[in-house]
Amino acid sequence: MLKNIKILVVDDSAVYRKILSNILETFSIVENVDTASDGLEAIDKLNQKEYDLITLDVLMPKMNGIDTLREIQKLRPETPTIMISSYTTHSAIYTIKAMKIGAVDFITKPDDNKVKSTEKFLHRELQNKIIGALYRKIDNKYLYDYEETYTVTEDHVQVEDAVNNEIISIGASTAGISALQYIIKNINAKTTKPIVIVQHMPEYFEGPLLDELKQNSKLDIQIPENTSELKPSTIYIAPGDAHLKVSKTGTILTCTIDPLSNMVSGFKPSIDVLFYSVALAAGKNSTAIILSGTGTDGVKGLKAIQKAGGKTIAQSPDSSRVPGIIIESMREKAINHIVPLKDIPKIIDSNAS
Successive 10-residue mean pLDDT values, the chain, 353 residues: 90 94 95 96 96 95 94 95 87 93 92 73 91 73 47 33 64 95 93 94 91 94 92 95 94 94 95 97 94 94 96 91 91 90 87 53
CATH no. for 5-137:
3.40.50.2300
Whether 320 sits among the annotated catalytic residues: the reply is no
Whether 155 sits among the annotated catalytic residues: the reply is no
Residue 238 DSSP SS3? coil
Alpha-carbon distance 301 to 278, whole Å? 9
**pLDDT value at residue 158:** 32
CA 39 from centroid of its chain's CA atoms? 26
Q: Give burial (CB, 10 Å; 0-12/13-18/19+) of 71.
A: middle
Peptide bond into 340 cis (omega under 30): no
Of 309, 274, 276, 292, the C-alpha closest to 196 is 274
**pLDDT value at residue 164:** 33
Looking only at Cα atoms, what is the longest distance across the chain? Answer: 65
The count of other CB atoms within 10 Å of the CB of residue 155 is: 7
Residues of the chain with CATH 3.40.50.2300: 5-137
Bridge partner list, 307: none
**pLDDT value at residue 149:** 35
Contact residues for 169 (Cβ-Cβ < 8 A; gap 6+): 195, 196, 197, 246, 274, 275, 278, 286, 287, 288, 289, 305
Residue 21 DSSP SS3? helix
Whether 105 sits among the annotated catalytic residues: the reply is no
The catalytically annotated residue of 52, 57, 105, 297 is: 297
What is the topology classification, in CATH, of domain 146-351?
Rossmann fold (3.40.50)
The catalytically annotated residue of 85, 91, 173, 319 is: 173
- Dihedral of CA atoms 260, 265, 271, 273 in degrees, nearest 10, equals -50
Residues of the chain with CATH 3.40.50.180: 146-351
The catalytically annotated residue of 11, 37, 91, 200 is: 200
